[in-house]
Each structure stands twice: as C-alpha cells, then as structure tokens.
Amino acid sequence: MTPQLSWYLALSAMLFTIGVVGVLIKRNVISMFMCIELMLNAVNLTFVAFSSFFHDVSGQLFVFIVMTVAAAEAAVGLGIIITIFRNRESLDVDDASVLKL
C-alpha cells in the first residue's frame, strides 16, 4: 500500500494543530517558541508532500526559504527571551502582563 498524498496532509495538519495547542497551553516562553517552530515545520511537510506529488521542485525551494527564515526568527526570538529573562528572572509568559486593558 503506497502512501497517499492525503496521509501526508493529515499528518502535517495534525502537527500544525499540536503546535497551535502547544502555544496556547504552554507557559514557558521557550516551549511556546518550540511549538511555533513545530507549526512552521508542519507547513514544510505540506510543501514537501505537494512538491513530491507534483514532481515540482518549487515547493522544496520554498521549504529552504522557510527554514532560513525560521533560523533568523529563532536567533531574534532567543535574543528577546534572553533580555526578558535578564530583567525578570522568569520565563513564564503569564508574568509578562504589565501592559493590559
């Protein structure tokens, strides 16, 4: 039984959902950040699946761009997290709620 396209799509949709739920329930900033990375990689999986199904290389190229962007985002994100940790000594996002109402 050869794997169908829909299998890959379902898997990536699940991964994306797990990422979304993770962002909502995790309180640690780094965990949240990892969940966002998971969402991005779920999308990458979709791209690769389509790309291979269509025998078209552009989807895979897109994945490279996404990975580059994700790396840049990771660098900046970790930088932000470090500054926050320096000022607050806490990685709990719910502590970061000075700005409200």
Partner 1 sequence: MSLIALQATNPDINLTLIAPELIIGIAGVLVMMIDAFARRGQRWLTGGLSIVALIAAGGASIWLGAGWRGARSAFNGMIVLDDLRLSFTLIFVVVSILTILIAAAWIDIEKLPAGEFHALLLFATCGMMLMASAGDLVIVFLGLEILSIATYVMAGFRRTDVRSNESSLKYFILGSFASAFLLYGIALIYGATATATLPGTTNIATIAGRLNHSLYPPLLLAGAAMLLVGFGFKIATAPFHVWTPDVYEGAPTPVTAFMAAGPKAAGFASFMRVFVFGFPIATAAASTAGYTHKSWLGTLAIMAALTMSVGNIVAIVQNNVKRMLAYSSIAHAGYALVGFVAAGAATDAEQRSAALTSVAFYLLTYAVMNMGAFAIVTLIARGNDRRTAVEDYNGIGFLSPVLAFSLSLFLLSLLGMPLTAGFMGKVMVFTTAVRQGYLWLVVIGVLNTAVSAYYYLRLIIVMFFRERNTPWDAPRLPVSVALALVITIAGVFYLGLFPGRVLNAFGAHPSISLSIR
Partner 2 sequence: MQTNLLSLIIFAPLAGALINWLIGRRVRNERFIGVVACASVGVSTIVALYLTLRSDGALRATQPVMDHLWTWVQVGAFRADFGLAMDRLSGIYALFVTFVGFLIHVFATGYMHGDRGYYRFFAYLNLFMFAMLTLVLADNLLLMFVGWEGVGLCSYLLIGFYLDKEEAAPAAKKAFIANRVGDWGFVLGILLLFWLTSHAGKPSISFFDKTGVTSALATVASLPMDGFTWHAIFAGGLTSVAILLFIGATGKSAQIPLFVWLPDAMAGPTPVSALIHAATMVTAGVYMVVRCSAIFTHAPFAMFIVAIIGAATALFAATIGLAQNDIKKVLAYSTISQLGYMFMACGVGAFVAAIFHVMMHAFFKAQLFLGSGSVIHGMHHEQDMRRMGGLRKYMPVTWLTMCAGWLAICGIPIWAGFFSKDEILWKTWSAGSPGIPPGLNKALWFIGAVTALLTAIYMTRLMVMTFWGGERFRAEHVEHVDEHDHGHLAHTPHESPLSMTIPLIVLALLSTVGGLVGVPYALSSLTGGHPENYFERTLQPVVSEVPGQSAGSGEATTLHWLSPPPQPVDGKPAVTVVKADHGETIPSAEEISQERIFTLISVLIALTGISIGWFMFKNQPLRRLPRLLENRYYVDEIYDATIIRPILVISREGLWKVFDIGVIDGLLHSLGRTVVNFGQTLRYMQIGFVRVYAAIILAGAIVIIGYFAYNGVHVLQFLTR
Residue ranges binding partner 2 (CB under 8 A)? 20, 23-25, 27, 32, 93-94, 96-101
**C-alpha–C-alpha distance, residues 91 and 29, integer Å:** 6
Interface with partner 1, residue 2, by CB under 8 A: no
Q: Which residues of 56-88 are buried (b: 16+ CB within 10 A; e: fewer)?
A: eeebeebbeeeeeebeeeeeebeeebeebeeee
Specify the DSSP class assigned to residue 14. H
Q: State the DSSP string of 60-92.
A: HHHHHHHHHHHHHHHHHHHHHHHHHHHHHS--B
Among 10, 27, 69, 92, interactor with partner 1 by CB under 8 A: 69
Which of the choices partner 1, partner 2, none does residue 94 contact, using the CB cut-off of 5 to 8 A by kind?
partner 2
Shortest CB 2 distance to partner 1, Å: 18
Shortest CB 59 distance to partner 2, Å: 22
- Cβ neighbours around 33 below 10 Å, total: 19
Residues paired with 28 in a beta bridge: 92
Shortest CB 16 distance to partner 1, Å: 6
Q: Which residues make up the interface to partner 1 (CB under 8 A)?
A: 9, 16, 19-20, 23, 29, 32-33, 36, 39-40, 42-43, 46-47, 49-50, 54-56, 58-59, 62, 65-66, 69, 72-73, 76-77, 79-81, 83-84, 87-88, 93, 96-100
